[in-house]
Chain A
Amino acid sequence: MSIYFSPFVIPFLIGVIVLIIICCIKYIRWYNQFDRVQKTVILKNIISWRFLSAIWETIMEALLHRKVFKRSFLLGYMHSSIALGWFLLIIVGAIESEIAIQTDKPFWIGIFYRYFVHDSHAFKHAQFFAHFMDLLLLYVLSGVILAYIKSIYSRIVGMKKTTKHVIFDTFAKFALWLIFPLRLLSESFTAALYNNGGFLTQTLGNMINYTVADVLEIPAWTLYSFALGTFFISMPFSRYMHIFTEVIFIFLKKLGVGENEQISGYTMFELSACSRCGICIDNCPLHKDLQLPGVQSIYFLRDLRYKRPREEIAENCLMCNRCVAECPVGLDLMTIRRQMRYKKDLDTHANYNYIENLQPFNSIGRIIYFAGCMSHLTPGIIDAMTTIFEKVDQKYWFMDKDRTICCGRPLLQQGFSIQAAELRRKNTQLIKQSGATMLITSCPICYQSFKKEYNLPIQVMHHTEYIHMLIKSGKLKLRKDDLKVVYHDPCELGRGCGIYRQPREILKTVTHLLKTKNEKEKSLCCGYNLGNTVINLEQQTKIRNAAMSSLRAKNPDLIVTACPMCKKAFKRASDFTVKDVAEIVKENIISE
């Protein structure tokens, strides 16, 4: 038996062993659930620069929690002090014991170093290490104290709603909360006895009576070990599973692995990589405007992870992407929702026979204009686009003018992935056969579909990109009117496809663009998003009104958007003027 052993190490040891075994079992099982493509991608990319960038991302996100910092400084500090602080305690502790003890030593020595090594001058810089370890402990403790406060009063760290957790979480949480105070206590007792502490533990140690310390030293270290053991054992079953899983997830993602339309091992990694931080709750429109409990991404993932998914929760999401934009882990939340919406039992294959009769139009030398089903309900947009095409002498094939099929995305969002694939196949064929070199669409839903779900050999543009290009190249000359406008970022165009700049630049050319409170990634959903089939009209209206009042806060003359859905949503609201970017452009064309 090593001299660096004491019975109190046992709980810790058991914890570590159980943790390693369970994690290995889980990870291996999930890896086996990867499909062939996912596995090939990993093997192909494992030796590449992607690996380095994954390391970087791990440091930035898993340790420093950069994205959480962006959301709120205190929340970021809380997360990073515990993660980074603990990580450094382990690393620096290992270095310290490595320098101090040249002989064989067990791996836990760094964790209980001060109990086993009493000589405060064991090596040259031992004093420095003692102080430095104390500093790190203080750093972690400050985070833990913030966590105490957060659980009592979450607004301090910038969150309105904190998460309801499962029982394992509670266990793990209390263990985690106890670990560092207990470490402080144990080291202080030891310092009281042997004067081997740093600035913090020694100061505390000096205040403790020698006899008291003598009696309580071992119990304190035992409790510390118990806390560690409890935390490790409950970790794989609690949200703290994210600590390791997040790192693996970051690597997988950086190596190019992604979600499939069906649940895979990757999904399992995602589910466990969610730290249940709750950041996705506050700004979810279903929480903010409707106070619907239990449907936000955090709850959805939790229920799925504990194998009690509920269909109505999978369906109850606007697919507005707001939580995706906020999630510090960067989980692919929308695809997981879709996987759970998958409607395999509904075979509607026969319904699609008619699409075979559709014929392409010879469009060599032309572009394709695909307005989108929704734009057909807002003919003002179509009218504006066809006018613009004529103005710049652009020949086009109006692909979905008549007798046409949908891009498929609305079906996909509802879980009809087979049916959507059928439509994509036919549209792809029509587009390829037409000979056109570019496709322009007025609908962000179609745009996202053509961009991401299709694999088209031709360029795809949203009409705002196209108009922007026309203006830049001088083909389209516009005058500036003196309207004050605000721009509403449609979910599918903004957060969905990252188009923020072009519509704004167009609007700055033709109007006076006012800034609004909720812009770009923070834009509010109009509520009429096709993603949600559960909420009713009244609830949609509430979400819409919230978005609308934020847009109207600065009294603009009109609201401009770039999506027929958003336009319809706002237009139904009132007599307030709402226009599409294309319409404003059309009105301001200078005709020579």
Chain B
Amino acid sequence: MKKIAVIGAGPAGIEAASALALQNMEVLLFEKSSNTLTNILDKAFLFPDFSLANDMVDKLNKKLLHQNITLHVGTEIVDIKQEGHEWKIIDKKGMSYIVAAVLLSTGYTPFDAKRKEELGYGIYNGVLTSLDLEKMIKYNHIENSMGEKPKRIVFLQCVGSRDEKSGNNYCSKICCVTAVKQAIEVKKLLPDTEVYIFYMDLRMWGQSFEEMYRESQEKYDVCYVRGRISEAATTFDKKIQFKAEDTLVGLPLKMNTDLLVLMVGMEASCGTKQLAKKLSIEGDYGFAQSLNIHLQDNETTSKGLFIAGSCKRPMGINETIADARSAALAIMDYVDVNQSNKESLADNN
């Protein structure tokens, strides 16, 4: 049986591992945290269908029970080397594994909002990220910094994305719809809370996103303001006061809120950055680069090295899963061709 290494047990890694295992490959799945699906675990509901994140986690984890899959949690991969037709995977403890092909699915990290200090994250208790709010929603425990029910929540889009100053000019793709989703969830839990969303432009690109956006306004009274927030400060009563410009009206404004939620974007994860660099497949902003976005989106410049999921660019779960399956297919092709090449070589001798 051919051995395949899959690095990173997020949705991409798990889906690909399972697809490969079903095709009779032996899969070594490495995950640096002690849990799989670290980026989904703390979520309450998923866009676009408000399905339970826990369900997704259970279903995906169940796929790992296949006998061909060996899961190594708590195993951070620090180096990958090509050795002839084989690949050598080295983990942090210095253990190495020899495999026939490698799939990089090391994913993303949310943007560290502390880097935009002017927004006060980590300084004022009333400033949260979308991840913090998601946790509050999950445990139905939405509070302001005084432990009270918030009267007003303001979302700010594009934190760390589409922002030259943080060095990320790209759009993270998932935060617009996440804001709409979270705004609706807040409203479901706290109907009396005012919700504002400050945006540059709303990108409702996916199926049913636009409907969700419309519903948020018609049914849930979410208020959208076009403009970026420039700085946040605290008031004597521990609220957050921020300055922004309403670019539709063309006026600067100042507003108080109980909670300011920063919609952080997706950056290449540390593992993605390091491994992509070592493997010389580093693309823009530290993401991994495929050979051809249309036709060979899982292949790389090295034969036997494949990539899938959000280690390539920001993407949601459904896209990630589809991409992981296509990667599994590409790997199977590669292994087959390699196999027959070897056999014909052996025949010739």
Q: Is the CB of A379 within 8 A of B166?
A: no
What is the interface of chain B mostly: helix, strand, loop, or mixed?
Answer: mixed
Q: Is the CB of B164 within 8 A of A379?
A: no
Of the listed residues B112, B117, B165, the one surrounded by the most CB atoms of chain A closer than 10 A to its CB is B117
Q: Does B124 sit at the interface, judged by CB under 8 A?
A: yes
Within 8 A of B (CB), among A353-380: 376-380
CA A380 to CA B231, docked complex, whole Å: 12
CA A571 to CA B234, docked complex, whole Å: 21
Q: Is the CB of A377 within 8 A of B118?
A: yes
CB contact between A383 and one of B115, B123, B167 (< 8 Å): that residue = B123
For residue B328, give the distance in angstroms from its CB to the closest CB of chain A: 33
CA A260 to CA B230, docked complex, whole Å: 36
Q: Is the CB of B231 within 8 A of A376?
A: yes
Within 8 A of A (CB), among B6-42: none
CA A24 to CA B115, docked complex, whole Å: 60
Q: Is the CB of B232 within 8 A of A572?
A: no
Within 8 A of B (CB), among A238-274: none
Q: Is the CB of A379 within 8 A of B112?
A: no
| Interface footprint category on B | 10 to 19
What does the 1/0 interface line of B99-139 toward A look like (CB < 8 Å)? 00000000000001001011010111000000000000000
Nearest opposing residue in chain A for B254, CB measure: A402
CA A568 to CA B231, docked complex, whole Å: 13
Q: Does B233 sit at the interface, judged by CB under 8 A?
A: yes
Q: Does A311 sit at the interface, judged by CB under 8 A?
A: no
Q: Does A346 sit at the interface, judged by CB under 8 A?
A: no
What does the 1/0 interface line of A204-216 toward B look like (CB < 8 Å)? 0000000000000
Q: Which residues of A contact B124 (CB under 8 A)?
A: 379
Known: A383-B123, A575-B112. A376 touches B164 (CB 8 A): no
Q: Is the CB of B165 within 8 A of A572?
A: yes
Q: Which residues of B contact A383 (CB under 8 A)?
A: 123
CA A537 to CA B169, docked complex, whole Å: 12
**Count, A-B residue pairs, CB within 8 A:** 38
Q: Is the CB of A572 within 8 A of B115?
A: yes
Q: Which residues of A contact B117 (CB under 8 A)?
A: 377-380, 567-568, 571
Q: Is the CB of A379 within 8 A of B232?
A: yes
Number of interface residues of A (CB under 8 A): 15
Q: Which residues of B contact A379 (CB under 8 A)?
A: 117-118, 120, 123-124, 231-234
Q: Is the CB of A537 within 8 A of B232?
A: no
Q: Which residues of A contact B233 (CB under 8 A)?
A: 376, 379, 382, 401
Within 8 A of B (CB), among A368-424: 376-380, 382-383, 401
Nearest opposing residue in chain A for B233, CB measure: A379
CA A401 to CA B234, docked complex, whole Å: 10
Q: Is the CB of B231 within 8 A of A377?
A: yes
What does the 1/0 interface line of B66-80 toward A look like (CB < 8 Å)? 000000000000000
Q: Is the CB of A378 within 8 A of B118?
A: yes
Q: Which residues of B contact A568 (CB under 8 A)?
A: 117-118
Within 8 A of A (CB), among B144-164: 164
Q: Is the CB of A380 within 8 A of B123?
A: yes
Q: Which residues of A contact B230 (CB under 8 A)?
A: 377
Nearest opposing residue in chain A for B120, CB measure: A379
Q: Which residues of B contact A377 (CB under 8 A)?
A: 117-118, 230-231
Nearest opposing residue in chain A for B241, CB measure: A402
For residue A386, give the distance in angstroms from its CB to the closest CB of chain B: 10
What does the 1/0 interface line of A522-551 toward B look like (CB < 8 Å)? 000000000000000100010000000000
For residue A215, give the distance in angstroms from its CB to the closest CB of chain B: 75
For residue B242, give the distance in angstroms from its CB to the closest CB of chain A: 11
Nearest opposing residue in chain B for A380, CB measure: B123
Q: Is the CB of A537 within 8 A of B164?
A: yes
CB contact between B118 and one of A376, A401, A541 (< 8 Å): that residue = A376
Q: Is the CB of A572 within 8 A of B166?
A: yes
Nearest opposing residue in chain A for B112, CB measure: A575
Nearest opposing residue in chain A for B165, CB measure: A572
CA A575 to CA B232, docked complex, whole Å: 21
For residue B19, give the distance in angstroms from its CB to the closest CB of chain A: 35
Q: Which residues of A contact B115 (CB under 8 A)?
A: 571-572, 575
For residue A142, give the distance in angstroms from its CB to the closest CB of chain B: 53
CA A382 to CA B231, docked complex, whole Å: 13
CA A568 to CA B123, docked complex, whole Å: 15
Q: Which residues of B contact A572 (CB under 8 A)?
A: 115, 165-167
Pairs across A and B, CB under 8 Å, 8 listed:
A377-B117, A377-B230, A379-B123, A379-B124, A380-B117, A382-B233, A401-B233, A575-B112
Footprint of A on B, CB under 8 Å?
Answer: 112, 115, 117-118, 120, 122-124, 164-167, 230-234
Known: A383-B123, A571-B115; 4 extra A-B contacts, CB below 8 A, are: A377-B117, A379-B118, A380-B123, A572-B166
